[in-house]
Each structure stands twice: as C-alpha cells, then as structure tokens.
Amino acid sequence: MMLPKFDLHVHTFYSDGSSSVESVLEEAQRKKLEAVAITDHGPGLSVGAEARKLLQLFQEVKRMREETGFRILGGVESNISPEGGLDLEEGVLRELDLVVAGIHYLRARDCRVQAEEYLEAVRRALRPPSFRILAHPLYYNKSLLPWISREEMEEFVEELANAEVAVELNSKYRAPDREFLQECLRRGVKLSVGTDAHHPAEVGTVEWQLTLLRRLGARREDLILDFL
C-alpha cells in the first residue's frame, strides 16, 4: 500500500520562517502532497506569534483552501511549559484547524533529569490534551530516549494512546527513535509527518519519514492524516 505524502509542520514569516502562505501552498502542490499544515510558533517562544496574528494566519489559510480546493490547514506549534500548560487559551486553540505542541524549554541541564522533566511536562499537558500531535517527540537538543527506561517509555506511549495524541516523525531533528515508533505502532498511537520547514524548499521533503515508515511496516491507517 502506498503511504500518503503530507507535511503537518511548517513555519512561515508569521513566526520564524521565511515562507509566505502562498509559497508553502505552491511548494506543497508542486511536490504533490495530499495535505500541508502551517503551524507557526505560539507566543510562548520569543519568535512566536501572538493569538491575534495566528488567527489572521488561519483566515489567510482558510481563504486559500476555499479558492484552490487544496487541503491546506492553519494551526499552531504551541509550546508546552515545564508545568504542562500551552501558550494559548483554549478559545483560540479551538478556532484553528490543527494544534501541534512540543517542548522547547527545560530547566535541567543533566540529561536524565531533562528526560524526567520532559515526560512530566507532556503528561500534565495530556490531562486533558488540547493538542492533536506531539512535535519532535522525546527530543531536546538530542534524543532523550537513552535516559528513559523501557518501562517508562511503554507507560508514556500508553498515555499518548489513551489521550489519542499522535506523534510526529520530524525530519529536521530525525526524531523520534525507531524503538519509540515501534512501540507507538504496537499501541495504536497514530503517526504524523512533519518537516519543521522554515524555508519554502524544505516543505514536503518527507523522504526520510516515508522510508522509515515503510521499514516499520506502517500502513495508511496508522497515520493521522485520515483521522484529522
């Protein structure tokens, strides 16, 4: 079975990217993607956009979707704080097509402590979740999986499954690790594909993800695309 080609993690000049919405759409169409999502950073990061700008972005994306019929989504990559909160209010998040969320700041310097802090922050954010996809899972400057026990990883994946939160295969950081993805597939956690593109040419460069998904034996129904 052919796996769908899509990219649900793209940045524009609304936050720290160099792409316009139009250039993202053009690149997605040129690379024959089934769908693309613009998910600019939220206000929790210094490069992020305030709620007003994100809603403006959403309206621009919505207009282009209606004009072209292409499946372009407007959303946000929200920051998960160490306390497990997101950087936008629920009312704003509900207005968007897609909420991706990730960890961008941890207090600890020690990798083992960082791993513990990471897991706790995401777990808090899952009660209940206000986001659909976990961006660059278990990655903070490098993979945190070596500092997480097998039992901890399995418990974490089970929590993601129960919360119905998908995990992203992120080509910018080549994250997450194969072992983690195998456990996600075993537990029925949906998988997403995102480039974390900040420039037009990066949009839709998902060969790494598709190759890995095929090697893992993933099927279309294992991916989030048809369940959004």
> pLDDT tens for residues 145-187?
999 999 999 999 999 999 999 999 999 999 999 999 999 999 9
Question: CB–CB of 133/126 below 8 Å?
Answer: no
Residue 91 lies in a domain: yes
Whether residue 136 lies inside any domain: the answer is yes
Task: With respect to residue 144, please indicate whether it lies within any of the assigned structural domains.
Answer: yes
Region 192-202: what's the mean pLDDT? 98
201 is a domain residue: yes
Domain CATH for 123: 3.20.20.140
Residue 150 lies in a domain: yes
- CA dist 84 and 88 (Å) reads 12
Q: Is the peptide bond before 4 cis (omega within 30 degrees of 0)?
A: no
**In a domain? residue 1:** no
Query: Sorting pLDDT into bands at 50, 70 and 90, what band is 1?
Result: low
**Count of domains observed in the chain:** 1
Asked whether residue 163 is assigned to any structural domain, the reply reads yes
Please give the residue range of the domain that contains residue 77.
6-227
